Amino acid sequence: MNPRSRILELGTDLSRPTSLDSPFLQQQEQQQQHTTTQQQHTTSFFDIPSFKTQQDMEFTIPDRYGYVILTCLVGQVATNTYLGGCVMQARTKYGVPYPNLYAAPGFHKDADNFNRVQRGHQSMLETAPSFMVMSLLAGLQ
């Protein structure tokens, strides 16, 4: 009688390792270990590396942190108001009515001059959020 048919008669599962197939099983185990090792060392694009530090990071708010907040809030409002006033003066000077954000080069004769003033104000509005965040973080100790 064949040993495999004997195992089937006893109801033993053939997917489990047995001593009958030892060279085959050794090869399978090596392949599984190799695959497991590859899976452990493979990182995806979305994996975030973790860094262990030996001491806790601690932030303290300095005594003069109020000046940082003052610069971020009041300074931004003052700069925005000043540059907005410059744009309003340029609108009347160069004849660019609302709701036009920029002057059309073929339609307005001083379109470049007005667009420079408008772009200066727009640039301040674009960089204000990152300036505020970086300033507030830099003010911490």
Residue 12 counted as domain residue: no
**pTM given for the model:** 0.56
Neighbouring residues of 110: CB distance < 8 A, sequence distance ≥ 6: 93, 94, 95, 103
**In terms of Cα–Cα distance, which of 86, 82, 73 is closest to 128?**
73
Domain enclosing residue 126, as ranges: 65-138
Q: What is the pLDDT of residue 35?
A: 63
Q: Give the tens place of pLDDT for each residue, 61-110.
A: 888 899 999 999 999 999 999 999 999 999 999 999 888 889 988 888 88
Residue 76 counted as domain residue: yes
Residue 134 counted as domain residue: yes
Task: Indicate whether 55 pLDDT > 80.
Answer: no
Q: What is the pLDDT of residue 127?
A: 95
Q: What is the pLDDT of residue 26?
A: 72
- The count of other CB atoms within 10 Å of the CB of residue 128 is 16
Q: Work out how many domains the chain is built from and give that number.
A: 1
The pLDDT of 103-125, averaged and rounded, is 92
